[in-house]
Amino acid sequence: MPVLETVRYRTKPGVTVEAAVAAWHDSQSFATAQPGFLSRKIAVSEDGEFLDLVEWQSMAHAKKAAENFNPAKFPELMGLVEVLDESTMVMTHYEVQATT
C-alpha cells in the first residue's frame, strides 16, 4: 500500500526560502536513490513552514529511507541539515486509502 510521508519544519533564522529550496533540490538525489521512492514535492506556507511531501511504495520503504537519512554517509543531505531547524521538524507517515 502506498505511503505519504510529510515532513514539516521551519528553517533557522536568516535562511531564505530560496536557500531552503536549493538545499531540498540538493537532497533529491538521496531521495530518488532510495528503494520504493515514487515522488517528492516541497511547499511553504505563508508563515514560513515548509512541507516536504514524499510518496513511497510502502511503509517499509518509507521507514527504511528515514533510517538511511545520514548526512555523514550522504553529503547531499548536508544542505538540509544546515538550513532546517530540527527542533521544529515533525515527520508523519500515512497509508493511502484511496486515490482519484
Q: What is the tens place of the pLDDT at every residue in 17-55?
A: 999 999 999 999 999 999 999 999 999 999 999 999 999
Residue with cell 482519484: 100
Report angle CA 100, 21, 71 to the nearest 5 degrees.
100
Report the pLDDT value the prediction gives residue 32, as an integer from 0 to 100. 97
Specify the length of the chain in residues. Answer: 100
> Using CA atoms, how far apart are residues 68 and 70, in angstroms rounded to an integer?
6
Strand partners, 15: none
Q: How many whole angstroms from its chain centre is CA 75?
A: 15
